[in-house]
Structure 1
């Protein structure tokens, strides 16, 4: 099991990340461009959404304005894009993911990462990646867990680190320690972090760099 804080402190740009643990989940967004950094998390009736902090400076809402977290019955869906809505509309995590592909932002072809958490502690994580073929095929990977012990979780992010193009996450979700929300926020790169959602046993907190959190 790896130390999540060490992973984050040693990586200036993991991009968007999901960590699913025992009775808790974390999701954060980061940004390199002014458009990506001009965002905050705001609550909704069934989860959260991203919103432009300064609407007058919003350049392109595609791929950056979406619902990262939504309830689906008694389950919780957490993703890095508008596939959240597809999954909820399908009322099926796997069917929803099978209908989507990686983001159309070549040459990065950012992966779509998604998760679903069930009340019994079981969860699933998915990554939709560019298969790096001339046909631009999509590789859809699913990881299903019966649960995880207290103090541990599984981490996945869009990127392995900074670069041009950005290198996509590779391999299976990483088993990691589960620090407290404040520790996660502090470990994210101060220049690139934008927002963080934490849900610990049903208690939700939102951290927004633009609002001084």
Structure 2
């Protein structure tokens, strides 16, 4: 599979929904994570990312306009030891809690399925990055309905051991805009990560997202040798 431009892939549709990017910098020194959210409704657009002790949480930009918090207020990023968990919903807490009890990333997600927001049945996408002894590995997961049929939950986990410098994977909830929204299909897209500094990388992703629908972006660079992390947040609502 030939890698594609991350920025062109993001820009190729007006509504990829929520997206996770995980990869490795071109010099091999950093694990790279990005997570973005988009919105078409007023409720979805009324959000910002707020920093927490180990990651981020979503919160209402204008609390008076918050209608239903159940699927839009959650902690997308949490850290468990040398593992960074990133998801598009409250399954972040599920993965954190069950892995803390000794289960694996994949096992913990067997307790969850796609979101109950028919007719879209938005997939739950998740990722985990581990940096240990100067090495990095990561995994991604998607839980989705069977082509829009909620009677079946399809579960896919993709693991990447000793990832290649300068490359990453990109998974998002929707293939494109539509009604209902079509779920992501196939293996996470192989994308070029490059060796930009964190601010340039974040700016390029942000500028690639559809102007009307983008809401918030989180980027984290983790030094693989030391596990020290540097993060950036960009919110449309300020």
TM over 0.5: yes
Bigger fraction of residues in strand: 2
Seen in structure 2, the aligned counterparts of structure 1 residues 190 and 95 have a Cα distance that, compared at 3 Å, is same
Runs of 4+ in 1 over 3 A off after TM superposition: 132-135
Q: Which of these residues, 51, 54, 57, is aligned with residue 59 of structure 2?
A: 51
The within-5 A match list for 1:5-154 is 5-22=7-24, 23-91=31-99, 92-119=104-131, 120-132=135-147, 136-154=151-169
Superimposed CA distance per residue, residues 52-88 of structure 1 (whole angstroms, 9 cap, x where no aligned partner):
0000100110110000000112100000000000011
Q: With structure 2 as the length reference, what TM-score do the two structures score?
A: 0.86
> In structure 2, what is the Cα distance between the partners aligned to 1:10 and 1:74?
34
Aligned twin of 1:196: 217
Aligned pairs, number: 211
> In structure 2, what is the Cα distance between the partners aligned to 1:110 and 1:84?
16
Give the superposed CA RMSD: 1.2
- Secondary structure in structure 1 of the residue aligned to 2:108: helix
Q: How far did 1:47 drift?
A: 1.1
- Secondary structure in structure 2 of the residue aligned to 1:122: strand
Q: How far did 1:12 drift?
A: 0.5
Superimposed CA distance per residue, residues 107-142 of structure 1 (whole angstroms, 9 cap, x where no aligned partner):
000000000000031001000010248661111100
Aligned twin of 2:185: 170
Q: How far did 1:95 drift?
A: 1.8
> In structure 2, what is the Cα distance between the partners aligned to 1:58 and 1:161?
26
Structure 2 gap segments, 5+ residues each: 25-30, 195-200, 223-228
Structure 1 gap segments, 5+ residues each: none
- Secondary structure in structure 2 of the residue aligned to 1:161: coil
Aligned twin of 1:183: 204
